[in-house]
Structure 1
Amino acid sequence: MDYKSEVEAIDALSASYHTIRKEISKIIVGQDDVVKSVLISIFSNGHCLLVGVPGLAKTLLVQTVANVLDLSFNRIQFTPDLMPSDIIGSEILGDDRNFKFIKGPVFSNIILADEINRTPPKTQAALLEAMQEKCVTAAGVTHALPNPFFVLATQNPIEQEGTYPLPEAQLDRFMFNVFLDYPSFEEEVNIVKNTTGNKVADLKRILTAQQIAYFQQLIRKMPVADQVLEYAVKMVAKTRPNSHYSTEAVNKYLSWGAGPRASQYLVIGAKCHAAISGKYSPDIEDVQAVAKPVLRHRIVRNYKAEAEGINTEKIISDLF
């Protein structure tokens, strides 16, 4: 990208972000915080888990983001009989009697892992290497995935029959855990109005894969003050029961706290939140803005918290 300085590049990122939001709003009504979190995770080179009841446009949101960002997109419907080879691909015997690798749907810029908790752990684990290493291994051969590469997974929180909870190791691979709530009355009126007529939105493609990769590196280069970095690390340390920094509520209601990856994502997320807001360095408010989606799936409540109805949102809010 031909920018005279990093300051000018951050201004361009902020402008692009607002243009992207405007385009997405042609299809997605409301859900502003959700759209913001998804875009922050993409620019931060992280993965995002979307949790919400059916019908809240989780799949449509991911498809719309892929279209606006001019990225290749594949949707994988996770089912109990899905096999790892259905995700990463497999080797077949060709006409020349040699084995050749046929790429699976994971070879795309954006992967929508729909209802990821509906498949057994063996198949869920097939995504682990892809999410962490940005490559897959089949028959001893490693294949690189496209750059950029994101997994945006969806999960239904209310229908637990026939589901397999995501292992903690896999949950930790997701930068954000984002909750989708019902739209307001006015938003639902607009949704019904837009989707029951013959109106077709014309989406513009705002950024290319090359530009996204550039902005990802730009965010990594952003300076962060020591006190902001230490604030992020201390916030994560507070979630660990019986540690030096833990609070009374954490000791009482948590059985497990967040690991170092949470600190990393807090800082990267704060940098991206600052950049899209037109700031050239993150502050404590930027850390707080991304704290809930970063921490809510990394802390484990104990039985006392469940019995007293203490949710993770309240525990995280107390850390501020």
Structure 2
Amino acid sequence: MHQEKIQEVINEVKKIVVGQEKMVNRLLIGLFTNGHILLEGVPGLAKTLTVNTLSKVLHLDFKRIQFTPDLLPADLIGTMIYNQLNANFEVKKGPIFSNIILADEINRSPAKVQSALLEAMQEKQVTIGENTFSLDKPFLVLATQNPVDQEGTYPLPEAQVDRFMMKVNIEYPSKADELEVMRRMTNSKFTSEVRPILNKEEIFDIRSAINEVQIAEALENYIIEIVFSTRFPEKYGMHEEAKYIQFGASPRASINLNLAAKANAFMQGRDYVLPEDIKEVAEDVLNHRIILNYEAEADNVSTRDLINKILDKIPLNKSATLQ
């Protein structure tokens, strides 16, 4: 059973990573639905460790790229080099040519590097000189970023942020989890060995199985209502919330909310989606697609607050007609 394999993967990751079950779940949802994942949190919350550990549990090529202010696009995708032996230019491929890319502290690099990454994320291809190369499948960007108000960070372009299926806000661990982390990290006998569980063929099989998960028409309409309420909040009776929203979620939100809900249902052992699956993943799919204005910042209103209001406000059987 695929679910048993998935549980084996989770158990292997738990050998190294304490807590952070939500982060592991969202990374797996991204892997199984071909969606890139953005992890945001302050340093020291095991973002990099979790991605590193997950990559070891998969039979996939993995590259870690540390994004820095002086990183160049060629450092990411590769470049043309001159071969003196045959007097020709040859392509030297960069680290982007891998199955899983850990883009560490992605928001510490300037716009040119982000633009180079954008083509790879969206088109699954890279252009070097006059040559275009397809990336190997599966191709997944698992990015980490520090909060944008920290020193030396650049806000990611909206077009690139929208390419991430989910943006997961990583919280501090509980007291019990932090105690376990402390004990492990101060124990010289602790080993960080994990065994590979899933290979490419099994990942593609799981993707095919998730495509077969059933979602009722009422739930499809529920997703549409949730997304449209971020664009036209007044038409859904959210007059107070409307003054905080500058831009609502793009159509990618509807697509990814559907996919993530299916994946969540599948990982719970079901071949059908429940409303709880949609609500479970809604915040991570929507929180980077709702653009707030300065008034929201002044009133200390977050996207999480708005998404919770939306989920409370939109009933499952609502069928609003937008003109």
TM range (shorter): over 0.9
Q: Is the 8 A contact 2:148 2:154 kept in 1?
A: no
Question: Is 1:237 equivalent to 2:239 in the alignment?
Answer: no
> Aligned partners of 1:33 and 1:310: how far apart in 2?
23
> Aligned partners of 2:237 and 2:256: how far apart in 1?
20
Partner residue in 2 for 1:88? 77
The partner residue of 1:119 within 101, 109, 125 is 109
Q: Is the 8 A contact 2:81 2:92 kept in 1?
A: yes
Question: Is 1:139 equivalent to 2:129 in the alignment?
Answer: yes
- Evaluate the alpha carbon distance shift between residue 159 and residue 312 of structure 1 in structure 2; reply closer, same or farther with a 3 A threshold: closer
Give TM-score scaled by structure 1 length. 0.93
Partner residue in 2 for 1:23? 12
> Aligned partners of 1:297 and 1:193: how far apart in 2?
35
Question: Is 1:305 equivalent to 2:290 in the alignment?
Answer: no
Q: Report the alpha carbon displacement of residue 235 of structure 1 after superposing the two structures with TM.
A: 0.4
> Aligned partners of 2:8 and 2:257: how far apart in 1?
25
Partner residue in 2 for 1:289? 280
The partner residue of 2:62 within 46, 65, 73 is 73
> Aligned partners of 1:245 and 1:124: how far apart in 2?
36
Q: Is the 8 A contact 2:30 2:165 kept in 1?
A: yes
Q: Report the alpha carbon displacement of residue 242 of structure 1 after superposing the two structures with TM.
A: 5.5
The percent of aligned pairs where both chains have the same amino acid is 47
Render the CA deviation track for 1:283-317: whole Å, top value 9, x for unaligned: 21111111000000000112222111111111001
Q: Report the alpha carbon displacement of residue 244 of structure 1 after superposing the two structures with TM.
A: 4.0
> Aligned partners of 2:253 and 2:6: how far apart in 1?
24
> Aligned partners of 2:94 and 2:149: how far apart in 1?
28
Partner residue in 2 for 1:13? 2
Residues 34-49 of structure 1 correspond to what in structure 2 (within 5 A)? 34-49=23-38
Give TM-score scaled by structure 2 length. 0.92
Render the CA deviation track for 1:122-148: whole Å, top value 9, x for unaligned: 111111111011111111211111111
> Aligned partners of 2:2 and 2:293: how far apart in 1?
42
> Aligned partners of 1:50 and 1:70: how far apart in 2?
22
Render the CA deviation track for 1:144-188: whole Å, top value 9, x for unaligned: 111111101111116532221001000000001011111111111
The partner residue of 1:100 within 87, 90, 96 is 90
Q: Is the 8 A contact 1:30 1:183 kept in 2?
A: yes
> Aligned partners of 1:162 and 1:309: how far apart in 2?
23
Partner residue in 2 for 1:176? 166
> Aligned partners of 2:240 and 2:137: how far apart in 1?
42
Q: Is the 8 A contact 1:238 1:245 kept in 2?
A: yes
Partner residue in 2 for 1:8? none
How many residue pairs get matched? 309
- Greater shift after overlay, 42-51 or 203-212? 203-212
Partner residue in 1 for 2:147? 157
> Aligned partners of 1:307 and 1:213: how far apart in 2?
46
> Aligned partners of 1:280 and 1:211: how far apart in 2?
18
Matched AA of 2:191: V
> Aligned partners of 2:6 and 2:31: how far apart in 1?
11
- Evaluate the alpha carbon distance shift between residue 76 and residue 202 of structure 1 in structure 2; reply closer, same or farther with a 3 A threshold: closer
How much is the aligned-residue C-alpha RMSD, in angstroms? Answer: 1.4
> Aligned partners of 2:26 and 2:153: how far apart in 1?
26
Partner residue in 2 for 1:189? 179
> Aligned partners of 2:206 and 2:261: how far apart in 1?
15
SS of the equivalent of 1:91 reads strand
- Greater shift after overlay, 309-318 or 234-243? 234-243
The partner residue of 1:219 within 210, 220, 232 is 210
